[in-house]
């Protein structure tokens, strides 16, 4: 301290000073020790022994002292709302292309039209991945007769959606049983085949980032367990 005093023209030193330390005297009002602020961020040694910046500029050097801090979300697609890209080409039937039409099927007026389509297919070459879940959406209009169902085919078997026999927009979630190579609509029923129109066909993958065991499937922004 004597060297510092000899070299400085003006030196202000704390009155509570002892052997190189500034001492603190508790105020009479009981408010505690002296206050201070930081002009730079604080650091700490974490559990891995690494020094990390805790970005504390205030006088409080305790991080997350109220234990309310939450980390980054660790679950991916926890809302089960994630959908993949559209897998159907020309699902709105704007042109007479991309679909192979079996007996009784045609494309006209922005729709796929079936007239007494019995055990015949409207299909396109697309692929699925085994054990993945797909959301199927399509609209039936102008219904007159028979039933129609959507299915994945080829590549070692078939995966069927539910047969429908009324106008409306249908949404189903089906799990591909193999690496199928076709998306198909099949006209069925012994009543003479399906007569009606199909439009707005969509197929997208859902349930990304999850592995589903037996009985598990995806619904509208939720997971479903059967049995």
* Domain spans, the chain: 13-64, 100-225
> For residue 130, how many other CB atoms are within 10 A of its CB?
14
8 Å CB contact between 204 and 134 = yes
In angstroms, how far is the first alpha carbon of the chain from the final one? 82
Show pLDDT as tens, one digit a residue, over the chain (227 residues): 556 555 555 555 555 556 666 555 556 666 655 555 666 667 777 778 888 777 655 566 677 888 888 888 888 888 888 889 999 999 999 999 999 999 999 999 999 999 999 999 999 999 999 999 999 999 999 999 999 999 999 988 899 999 999 999 999 999 999 999 999 999 987 678 999 999 999 999 998 888 888 888 888 888 888 87
What topology does CATH give the domain 100-225? Jelly Rolls (2.60.120)
DSSP string across the chain: -HHHHHH-SS----SSEETTEE-----TT---S-----SS--EEE-TTS-EEE----SS---TTTTS--------SSTTS--B-----SSTT--SS-S-EE-TTEEEETTEEEEEEE-S-EEEEE----TT-EEEEEEEEEEEEESEEEEEEESSSSEEE---B-SSEEEEEEEE-SS---EEEEEEE-TTS-EEEEEEEEEEEEE-TT----TTEEEETTEEEE--
pLDDT of residue 158: 93
Nearest-CA neighbor of 183 among 93, 100, 97?
Answer: 100
- The pTM is what? 0.69
């Amino acid at each position: 301290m004597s060297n510092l005093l000899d070299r400085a023209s003006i030196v202000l030193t704390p009155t509570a000073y002892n052997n190189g330390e500034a001492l603190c005297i508790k105020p009479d009002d009981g408010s505690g020790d002296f206050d201070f602020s930081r002009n730079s961020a604080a650091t700490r040694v974490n559990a891995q022994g690494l020094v990390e910046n805790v970005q504390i500029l205030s006088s409080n050097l305790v991080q997350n002292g109220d234990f309310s801090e939450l980390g980054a979300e660790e679950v991916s697609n926890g809302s089960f709302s994630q959908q993949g890209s559209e897998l159907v080409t020309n699902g709105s039937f704007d042109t007479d292309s991309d679909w192979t039409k079996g007996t009784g099927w045609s494309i006209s007026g922005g729709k796929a039209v079936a007239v007494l389509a019995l055990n015949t297919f409207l299909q396109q070459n697309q692929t699925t991945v085994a054990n993945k879940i797909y959301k199927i959406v399509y609209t039936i209009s102008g219904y007159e007769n028979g039933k129609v169902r959507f299915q994945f085919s080829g590549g070692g078997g078939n995966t069927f959606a539910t047969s429908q026999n009324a106008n409306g927009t249908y949404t189903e979630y089906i799990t591909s049983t193999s690496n199928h190579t076709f998306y198909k609509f099949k006209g069925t029923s012994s009543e003479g085949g399906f007569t009606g129109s199909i439009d707005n066909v969509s197929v997208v993958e859902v349930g990304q980032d999850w592995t589903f065991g037996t009985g598990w499937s995806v619904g509208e922004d939720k997971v479903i367990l059967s049995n």
